[in-house]
Every structure is written in structure tokens, then in C-alpha cells.
Amino acid sequence: MRTPLIAGNWKMHMTVNEAVELAGAVARLSSDARDREVMIAPPYTALFEVARALEGSNVLLSSQNVCWEEKGAFTGEISPVMLKDIGCSMAIIGHSERRHVFGEDNKMVNKRILGAQKFGMVPVFCIGETLDEREAGHTFKVLESQVREGLVGVEISDPATIVVAYEPVWAIGTGKTATVVQAQEVHAFVRELLAGMYQKNVASEIRILYGGSVNPENVDALMSEEDVDGALVGGAALKPELFDRIIHFQ
């Protein structure tokens, strides 16, 4: 049984006060969520206060990235130990904006995943093809190298220790969602890949989220697909009334 996970990636939005208010709203909206999990990933500056605002709620807290080292000369980075220290249990890694705007490659993504796991954080490992790659017919090849290179040396014996998120780059922030058929096709492919890399009973339990313009109108159809185990939501996660409907997908 894969428990659905609805995750909000707030990206570079929200001052501390705004974040605490939104987190409080998400905590209230999620209080009746029994058969699903809810996670939010505020910007670093708000994590500490948001962690306090989430105390006693069932909302999980994630960072939007994480360094692979515990401490040291890594200007501008935040370590998994620091994040765990403030109550952050998950870390988004390899998001398309990290890859395409900040030049992070599969190798760096791999280091971050290894680092997160080493210190007991759950990586939300993002993969996704660009429009050019899809149109050139390279979708599966690109995703396969992202998965294989991103997971070099990563041991997964407990499926709860990692989450994969498929976010087609062309669907992020564009209002253009993958069709449910496109999403299911990729999710099934990724699960098959994982089954070849890890024990089958473990791979079959790893959650694979879909991200890219998820909204109240398309969430039910996406979540009805066999291998879609949740959503990684950007824009709509900033609006409580939209995120509410997404959390309560049917």
C-alpha cells in the first residue's frame, strides 16, 4: 500500500510571517487527512518558524535542497544535520529549477541524495525531461539516466526512505499538465526501472509523485492512475483554497 503524498513546493515565495500563516492554514486543512500525507517545503528562511507552527499537526516539513556534508566550507549551502535539527525530515533534491537554472547535474543530485539519506532525511528525488527532449523522442532515455546516475550507491531497503517525483520541465509553471496517460506511462517506466535496481517488493512500494501544473481541476484524474502516488505542487500550493482541494483529491 503506497500512502498518497501531497507535497507543496513553495519555491522562492513567502516571508517568515506569510509562511507561518500559510503553514497554519495547511495544518488546519490537513487535520482530517487520514489516508494520505501532506508535506510542505517553505524557503530556508522560514523553516525554523514553520516547524514550530506545524507542531502537533500531521504536516511533514521539507527543505527545497540540501548539502551532502554535515558541516564545513560550503558557502551558501545548508547541511542535513542543520535541517534535521530544526525538525525538517525531507529534502527536495534535483528539482528542475536546480538543474536548469543553477546547473546541478546528475552527479551533484546523487551526492545530495546520499548525504540526505546518510543523515536520515527522506530525499524527494526529482526527475523530468525538457520539451526538446520529449519532442526528440528522448524522454525515457533522459529519465533513465537521471534515475540511474542519481541513485548511484544509494541503498533502498525501506521504501519509505525515498520519494521520487516526476516533473516534466515543460509542465512546470506553464499551466500545461502532462496528460494522465503521459504521467502514468512515465511512472510505470520509472517503477520498472527501480524494480531492476532494487528488490521488487521495495520498488513496488516507493512513492512516485507527479508535478507540473497540478491544480484542483486535474488532481483527481492524475491521482486515479495506478502509479501516480501523489503530487508535487508549486503555484497552487501557495493558495490555501486550491491546496485544500488538492489535498482532498477524490
Residue at grid coordinates 498518497: 4
Cα separation, 224 vs 113, whole angstroms: 29
Binder of ligand 13P out of 235, 245, 247, 249 (CB under 6 A) = 235
Of 32-40, 43-51, 141-149, 227-235, the window that binds ligand 13P (rule: CB under 6 A) is 227-235
Residue window 188-217: x/- pattern of binding to ligand 13P, with contact defined by CB under 6 A: -----------------------xxxx---
Least distance to ligand 13P, CB of residue 212, Å: 5
233 binds ligand 13P (CB under 6 A): yes
Least distance to ligand 13P, CB of residue 116, Å: 17
Cα separation, 221 vs 250, whole angstroms: 9
Binder of ligand 13P out of 60, 232, 246, 247 (CB under 6 A) = 232
104 binds ligand 13P (CB under 6 A): no
Q: Which residue, among 182, 63, 90, 196, has the nearest Cα to 129 in the 3D structure?
A: 182
Left (φ > 0), alpha (ψ -120 to 50) or beta: where does 33 sit?
A: beta
Binder of ligand 13P out of 9, 110, 117, 146 (CB under 6 A) = 9
CA 35 to chain centre: 19
Sign of CA dihedral 21, 82, 68, 36: negative
Binder of ligand 13P out of 37, 129, 133, 167 (CB under 6 A) = 167
Cα separation, 171 vs 212, whole angstroms: 5
Closest CB to ligand 13P among residues 20, 214: 214
Cα separation, 83 vs 44, whole angstroms: 9
Q: Which residue, among 155, 165, 154, 159, has the nearest Cα to 125 in the 3D structure?
A: 165
User: 135 Cβ partners below 8 Å, 6+ apart?
Assistant: none
Cα separation, 150 vs 111, whole angstroms: 8
Amino acid at 115: G
Question: Which residues are annotated as catalytic?
Answer: 95, 167
Closest CB to ligand 13P among residues 159, 234: 234
Closest CB to ligand 13P among residues 19, 202: 19
Least distance to ligand 13P, CB of residue 135, Å: 19
Of 18-26, 30-38, 79-87, 233-241, the window that binds ligand 13P (rule: CB under 6 A) is 233-241
Count of residues of this chain found to bind ligand 13P when the rule CB under 6 A is applied: 14
Contacts with ligand 13P by CB under 6 A lie at: 9, 95, 167, 172-173, 211-214, 232-236
